């Protein structure tokens, strides 16, 4: 390791070294701190790649030490690589597409980066990627690790004449080596599971035009927001800050209430109206079934009404995991919400959601009174 204060002794003809006391990351001397140190290693390497654009490309166990003051020390910078800003954005987007199995976007990205010929037929490549790679986040370590992904990607790359630049090869090697070190400490460790929160946080907080455009492309399909994607991105970004959802929420709202995000706000309002309306219906059915099972009440209920719907279970799980979990700063959460709601755009957004939900409930009430059939399909409100 070379500390900054020693750099004045480093010349083209002179190598300056410094002795560092420490232990390897898999050492039992670290005790319970081993897992935390490994996660620090992953985050540090990701920041080197995706923020600084200069990274240690060979972080194997012999090139890493944990010092007495619990600092992480990289040794031997004989193998390094650099990334331009465009290339780092490409890696961020590739991880997002890989985790979310969006092969069409991944192939299009490879064409933009020059890794794949721009005239290549996308359909067979998309099929090959889909067949080769498992669900990254849900697969077990036995089914999925970065070494196996590299092997499967390599087969696809070879079959379709991909041209991998040196920086991309260096990154694949670096991530594979990092996971190898981490697995020695935690056999269930998966590098992309740890990388995704960092990437999600960067996607939400970076105000570059390229990432903003990519974020919209990721969140929007066929003109509508994809609920699972934006909630997943928000939750993943929160993991970067001890599962405090207020931090990820702040970044997301900064993006949604930006001056150039009017269309996204309308989409989010439509999505929230849809979700709140469906949640209200499910909650009503559940309470009706619950009360009907109580002898003090005489209510008509349908079979299964007393069971929670998947939507209701998901909502309760989100509240429990994100808002009630120990360590979440509730005051910060509501402070953020209050700050954005006081904005003119925030007030208009809230009014859109409230009016949309009210229209749904009014229409449902009228249909119930006059015994009209349910609406065939919900539509967007006209603006």
The two beta strands, 224-225 and 80-82, are unpaired
Name the residue with tokens 């009430």. 365
Beta bridge partners of 83: none
Q: Which residues contact 298 (CB under 8 A, 6 or more apart)?
A: 292
Residue in 58, 277, 282, 305 annotated catalytic: 58
How far, in Å, are 17, 34, 50, 133, 349 from residue 76 at the CA level? Answer: 10, 21, 21, 34, 53
User: How long is the chain?
Assistant: 383
The whole-angstrom separation of Cα 89 and Cα 230 is 19
The two beta strands, 224-225 and 72-74, are unpaired
Here the tokens at position 352 are: 């859109």
The whole-angstrom separation of Cα 360 and Cα 358 is 5
The whole-angstrom separation of Cα 160 and Cα 58 is 28
- How many Cβ atoms sit within 10 Å of the Cβ of residue 10? 11
Q: Quick one: 3 exposed, middle or buried, by C-beta within 10 A (0-12, 13-18, 19+)? A: exposed
Name the residue with tokens 């196996």. 148
Phi, psi of 165 (to 5 degrees): -70, 160
Give catalytic status of residue 58 as yes or no: yes
Here the tokens at position 277 are: 């309306």
Catalytic residues: 58
């Amino acid at each position: 390791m070379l500390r900054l204060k020693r750099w004045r002794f480093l010349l083209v003809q002179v190598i300056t070294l410094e002795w560092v006391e420490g232990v390897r990351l898999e050492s039992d001397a670290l005790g319970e701190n081993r897992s935390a140190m490994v996660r620090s290693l992953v985050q540090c390497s990701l920041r080197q790649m995706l923020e600084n654009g200069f990274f240690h490309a060979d972080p194997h166990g012999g090139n890493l030490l944990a010092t007495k003051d619990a600092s992480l020390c990289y040794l031997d910078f004989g193998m390094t690589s650099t990334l331009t800003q465009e290339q780092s954005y490409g890696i961020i987007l590739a991880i997002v597409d890989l985790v979310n199995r969006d092969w069409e976007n991944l192939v299009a990205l490879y064409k933009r980066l020059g890794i794949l010929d721009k005239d290549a037929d996308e359909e067979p490549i998309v099929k090959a990627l889909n067949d080769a790679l498992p669900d990254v986040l849900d697969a077990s370590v036995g089914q999925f690790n970065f070494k196996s992904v590299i092997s499967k990607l390599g087969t696809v790359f070879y079959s379709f004449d991909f041209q991998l630049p040196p920086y991309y090869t260096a990154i694949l090697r670096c991530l594979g080596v990092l996971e190898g070190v981490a697995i020695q400490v935690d056999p269930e460790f998966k590098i992309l599971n740890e990388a995704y929160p960092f990437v999600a946080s960067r996607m939400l907080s970076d105000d570059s035009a390229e990432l903003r455009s990519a974020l919209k492309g990721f969140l929007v399909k066929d003109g509508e927001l994809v609920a699972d994607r934006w909630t997943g991105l928000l939750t993943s970004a929160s993991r970067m800050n001890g599962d405090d959802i207020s931090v990820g929420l702040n970044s997301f709202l900064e993006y949604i209430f930006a001056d150039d995000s009017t269309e996204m706000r309308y989409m989010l309002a439509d999505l929230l109206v849809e979700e709140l309306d469906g949640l209200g219906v499910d909650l009503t059915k559940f309470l009706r079934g619950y009360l009907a099972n109580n002898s003090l009440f005489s209510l008509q209920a349908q079979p299964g009404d007393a069971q929670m719907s998947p939507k209701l279970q998901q909502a309760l799980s989100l509240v429990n995991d994100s808002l009630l979990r120990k360590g979440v700063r509730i005051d910060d959460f509501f402070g953020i919400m209050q700050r954005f709601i006081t904005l003119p755009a925030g007030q208009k957004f809230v009014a859109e959601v409230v009016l949309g939900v009210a229209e749904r409930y009014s229409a449902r009430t009228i249909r119930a009174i006059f015994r009209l059939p349910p609406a065939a399909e919900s539509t967007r409100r006209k603006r």
